[in-house]
Amino acid sequence: MNNKQPSRMDQLLNLLVEEIEERMHARTPAPSAAEEPAPSTTEQPALSTVEETSPSAGPPVAEALSPSPPPAHPEEPAQTLAGLRAEAEDEESPPEPEPALPPALPGASHAARLMGRLALGLLIAIVLINIPFNRHGTTLATAMPDSAAVVIRDGLVVKEADDEEIYVFQDGRFRWISSLDAFEHFGYTWGNVRIVADGFLEEFEIGTPLHVLLKCQQSPHIYRLEGGEKRWIRDIVTFEAEGHVWDDVRFVSCGHLRSIPDGETIPPGFGPPPQP
């Protein structure tokens, strides 16, 4: 066989193929140990074919072996999220509607009428309980026992519910008002009397009774009205010993004094008493 020397063209083609293979090998990543390279389905062209190709085939081979450029990405949409937000902010926002007033409740007027009727009824009740129902001026407000609400003070006039005697509080003691004349003489009225529960006075000290003294202008004698009877006070020493003062004396007509029944003298045992 003839050992024909390769032509210069063949040498250049060989060098070109080698260079292309080196570059392709450098660009291909090395397979990992866990992954084995997939068998190539494309058969490599035989070297003889490449060698036998004419010089005019050089460029197509280079193009075939060169990696194809990646496909061009589609253009990004011109309108981005920032643009959408800017456009939304640029739009004129509609005016906020004014808050509507809540509708009137259907039962409001009925409740107002009911409250008005209750207030009117309370006013009528207050008036009724303060109207006197007897000749002494006693009212329901003073006739009802209310000892729990009683404030103990000087001048307080009380009466137990089942007792006819009336007492006034003076100097830390309750003093019995011995007669209606004494009651009126000291300026008390039935509106001043507070009705208390039976036994109320048992918790307090009882002082000397509160009497009224009667005298007429034409007589020097002084009488103490007590229990519907007049009791003659024998002398001025007894008058002072009983704790009386001249402010206790009430002047009446002599005829009125004579019409009052006589009682035991003060001190007892000096009867019969003199008449005015």
Rounded Cα gap, residues 252 and 224, in angstroms? 13
Contacts of 223 (CB under 8 A, 6+ apart): 213, 214, 215, 230, 231, 232, 233, 257, 260, 273, 276
Token pair in block for residue 127 = 């008036």
Closest by CA position to 165, among listed 152, 154, 180, 176: 176
Exposed / middle / buried, residue 269 (Cβ in 10 Å: 0-12, 13-18, 19+): exposed
Q: Is 232 helix (H, G, I), strand (E, B) or coil?
A: strand
The predicted structure's pLDDT at residue 64: 42
Phi-psi region of 90 (alpha: psi -120 to 50; beta: other; left: phi over 0): alpha
Q: Which CATH architecture has domain 134-210?
A: 2-Layer Sandwich (3.30)
In tens, the pLDDT along 32-72 reads: 544 455 544 444 444 344 344 444 444 444 444 445 555 44
How many residues appear in the chain? 276
71-78 mean pLDDT: 47
Domain 211-276 homologous superfamily, CATH: Type VII secretion system EccB, repeat 1 domain (3.30.2390.20)
At 168 the pLDDT is: 94
Closest CA to 194 of 238, 236, 138, 239: 138
**Secondary element (H or E) of residue 174:** strand 173-177
For residue range 225-253, what is the model confidence (pLDDT) as tens digits?
887 888 999 999 999 888 888 888 888 89
Look at phi and psi of residue 256 and say left if phi exceeds 0, alpha if psi is from -120 to 50, else beta.
alpha
User: Percent of the chain beyond pLDDT 90?
Assistant: 18
pLDDT, position 203: 87
Residues of the chain within CATH 3.30.2390.20 domain(s) are 211-276
Instruction: Return the pLDDT at 61.
Output: 42
Is 182 within 8 Å of 175 (Cβ atoms)? Answer: no
Q: What is the pLDDT of residues 123-160, one digit of tens each?
A: 888 877 777 755 556 565 555 554 456 788 889 999 99
Please give the pLDDT value at position 30.
Answer: 56
**pLDDT tops 90 at residue 166:** yes
Instruction: For residue 225, give the 3-state DSSP assignment.
Output: strand
CB neighbours of 25 closer than 8 A, spacing ≥ 6? Answer: none
> DSSP class of residue 119?
H
Please give the pLDDT value at position 43. Answer: 46
Segment of 37-41, 73-77, 103-107, 120-124 carrying the highest mean pLDDT: 120-124
